Structure 1
Amino acid sequence: MEKEPSPHLDVAGSICPSCGGDGMSVFYRVTNIPVHSCLLMKDRRSAVSFPRSNLSLAFCPACGFISNQLFDPSVHSYGRIYEESQGYSPCFNSFLNSLAGQLVDKFDIRNKRVLEIGCGKAEFLAAMCRIGNNEGIGIDPGSNPARLPASVKDRVTLICDFYSEAYSDIKADFVCCRHTLEHIGPTRDFLLTVRKSMSSNPGAIAFFEVPDVLRVLRERAFWDIYYEHCSYFSMGSLARLFRSCGFDIIDLELAFDNQYILLTARPSAITEPKFDIERDLDDLRSNVAKFSFMVTEDLELWRRRMQAWSGAGRRVALWGAGSKSVAFLTTLRLDEQIEFICDINPFKQGTFAPGSGHAIVSPDALAAKAPDVVIAMNRIYRSEIASQLEQLGVKTELLEV
């Protein structure tokens, strides 16, 4: 039986931004990585010379929260050249529309006002408004009214800004925040601002969605760790944060191939834990202790695989030009070992990946280049990718991270 490595954690001594406890321990570091993953780089030179920084993940033993101790929000530049949308994937759209429909039905979000904090290109907000005939307000520095579906343009207002107390007077029946909290350093302060804004409407519902860090730790998914994400939650650490900020949790579950945590809550003075899945501190400690050791082994395996493919003259491409591919390439320090990245999002095609400078091409361009190996950057899209490759007549070895 293989002996489990002893935890070698460096005590950072910093205060946890989620629970306020001290004694956070650093357990994983990555150096010289791009500070953005989803900005559209128009040429390879600007992509390769894109600003970089370091990442140092620390674990809070009290609440289980994980954060990048070296995070500096001032280096970020969110705006309309930030392209995070997964809305061109049938698989993702099915998930998004199904989720919106379930929330509308379960909480009767019909003919009401929906506020989305960090709405991106407002695909989810548009679905909530279309399905429930709701009025929508979206706040995001990268929002773009031109990307709204015509069917909801008269019912959705987009504010091109960061959410703050300046918008706390917006009264909404449903407040949602999807894949935004992980980009925020002072998580507790942010959530308290949201809680304060909901005080005038105690019947309002809050819905948050974030990646599940316990899956990342268990699967040693180093490609899911990057500079933009400074805050990492498990179901337990997310629930503990919400309860400490005055929310009663209604639902807590995993979705999207167990990659995302879905939390639904309402403002309440009653905040007693009621989900067994919140009790995950021991599991977190165990996986944190061995993560760096196991990832080091995985990195070496990937490098050997790349070297073997290169030596055999096999041409390799990635499918999916989001943050996962940027983290995969820059953590492994890959260059010519990967020929290009394919993505179905037309706004990404013809641009270059921040940090590595790899060209991002369309599926048609991939077919013309005919790589020997295609690596899917998210396993949930594997069948969708396989179907597209078959339609394009591309015979290749399809793998997944």
Structure 2
Amino acid sequence: MIQQPLVKNSALKETTYSADHQCPNCTHQGLSLFYEVRNVPVHSCLMLSTQQEALDFPCGDVALGFCDRCGFVTNVLFDSKWSAYAPNYEDQQSFSPTFNKFALDLANRLIEKYDLRDKDLVEIGCSKGDFLLLLCELGNNRGVGIDPSVVAGRVKSKAADRVKFIQDYYSQKHAEYVGDFICCRHTLEHIHPTFEFIRTVRRSIGDRANIPVFFEIPDTTRVLRDMAFEDIYYEHCSYFTPGSLARLFRSCGFEVTDLYRDYGDQYLMIEALPVAIPSDKIHPLEETLEQMKEDVQYFATNIKNKLETWKQNLEQWQAQGQRVVVWGSGSKCVAFLTTLNTIDKIQYVIDINPHRHGKFIPGVGKEIKSPEFLKEYQPDRVIVMNPIYCDEIGQMLNEMGVVTELVPL
């Protein structure tokens, strides 16, 4: 089987203004386009059973546009018809000890800060329910989780009988589920009409001024400054920095009470309270629009060189006959391989999530292997999609007797 090149990449050295596109975050007409990746899989985490199914997976285009009114970045070519999340959307991260420690620390911090004990909690976009169950177990809380990909019973927990899961997309029809605390983690970046989404959350709260909300998303400041092209993919149609996120929440009737980064500065967190009178409080972490413009221009000017360097590395390693694998089969992996158009340079992809093993990656066609596969394969290099896991991966490889070089992105 001959696999055809997937991507025609176009890193624009200068931003190009387009009056045709409206910002979904503030409704301003006109965006500056600065990065394009064509013909990429419309989903990265849907698990497919055969290689052919993976190779035939639908593709779409990414063209990032920057709004100079609110600082928001969006994929202007995003088509919501591909937002088909289902139980076979596999994004569960709780098989990693590193991630579990982060989640446990975060849950304990929120419980202490907001006295989440014997309370009613709501999580919008709860995935498989790990975090909501953790909050309910640690604080003896009750919970409602809403997500089209949720699988009730997947995560075992002592709090399972106190948590209700709704397999659906969050919308106005779920406004009755407010409780005493609302959280939403790694969902807003998948939402194209961001203003309408946050307004829906605000309307559901009504005049109850003491309901805190907590959102967690990827931080786009890091993506731009580190030229982290592996974090740009089709499902992520919305890209936030501290400033654009805070402006959105204020415009929708919230006051930002805290704004911070975590998880190696990869994640951006916002905490807010509903207010009746629009808030004008600016958090110190918020960047100015001028700073955001500089970050966008830096990315546009330098990303091509970074892509070329990675292409040359992969080609050189292949020419030398080296065995190179990727560790991490999620969205970063799909973006890494398709953006570079070097799928043929990597033979195997490794993941610790057992629900991914034996499945095939959309648009890439590689079968996902378990870490134990490396005992026999003995790779020369392991490209780690997320550097925060290097220590964890290195320890696993040592325990398996695999001697190799870890190459973090």
> When the two structures are superposed, what TM-score results if normalisation uses the length of structure 1?
0.97
Which residue of 1 is the match for residue 7 of structure 2? Answer: none
Counterpart residue number, 1:208: 215
How large is the Cα RMSD of the aligned pairs?
A: 1.2
1:323 aligned onto 2:319: no
Give the match for residue 109 of structure 1: 116
2: CA distance, partners of 1:280 / 1:27: 19
**Per-residue deviation, 1:296:** 1.0
| Aligned: 1:139 with 2:173 | no
1:282-331 deviation line (CA, Å, top 9, x unaligned): 22101211323311111111111011101110010000111000000110
Counterparts of 1:264 and 1:297 in 2: how far apart (Å)?
Answer: 37
The answer (yes or no) to whether the contact 2:124–2:145 under 8 Å persists in 1 is: yes
Q: CA deviation at 1:276?
A: 1.9
Contact 1:9 1:289 in 2 (8 A): no
Q: 2:165 aligns with which of 148, 153, 158?
A: 158
Amino acid at match of 1:257: G
CA distance in 2 between partners of 1:107 and 1:84 (Å):
28
How does 1:41-52 map onto structure 2 within 5 Å?
41-52=48-59
CA shift, 1:12, in A, is 4.3
- 1:127 and 2:127 aligned: no
- Counterpart amino acid of 2:408? E
Question: CA offsets, 1:116-135, max 9 Å, x none?
Answer: 00000111101110111100
Contact 2:175–2:201 (Cα < 8 Å) also in 1: yes
Amino acid in structure 2 at the alignment position of 1:295: I
Deviation at 1:97, TM superposition (A): 0.9
Task: Return the letter of the residue paired with 2:40.
Answer: I
Deviates more, 1:145-154 or 1:322-331: 145-154
| 2:389 is the counterpart of 1:381 | yes
- Corresponding residue number in structure 2 for 1:359: 367
Q: Does 1:175 align with 2:193?
A: no
| 8 A Cα contact 1:34 1:227, kept in partner | yes
Gaps of 5+ in 1: none
Please state how far the C-alpha of 1:270 moved relative to its aligned partner: 4.6
Residue type at the aligned position of 1:361:
K
What residue number does 1:271 align with?
Answer: 279
Asked if the contact 2:13–2:301 (Cα under 8 Å) also holds between the matched residues in 1, the reply is no
**2:306 aligned partner:** 298
Runs of 4+ in 1 over 6 A off after TM superposition: none
Between the aligned partners of 1:107 and 1:349, the Cα distance in structure 2 is 39
Distance in 2 between the 1:270 and 1:11 partners? 31
Native 8 Å contact 2:19 2:30 kept in 1: yes
SS of equivalent residue, structure 2 residue 22: coil
Q: Does 1:339 align with 2:347?
A: yes
Conserved 8 A contact 1:19-1:188: yes
CA distance in 1, matches of 2:395, 2:208: 47
- Alpha-carbon distance in structure 2 between the residues aligned to 1:318 and 1:45: 21
Task: Report the equivalent of 2:225.
Answer: 218
Which secondary structure state, in structure 2, belongs to the residue aligned with residue 262 of structure 1?
strand
Q: TM-score, normalised by structure 2?
A: 0.95
Rounded Cα–Cα distance in structure 1 between residues aligned with 2:287 and 2:267:
18
Output the CA distance in 2 between the equivalents of 1:131 and 1:254: 23
- Is 1:20 the counterpart of 2:27? The answer is yes
Describe the superposition over 1:193-251 as per-residue Cα deviations: whole angstroms up to 9, x where unpaired. 00000114321110000100010000000000000000000001000000010101111
CA contact (8 A) 1:13 1:25 kept: no
Structure 2 SS opposite 1:202: coil
CA gap of 1:6–1:230, structure 2 versus 1, over 3 A, is: closer
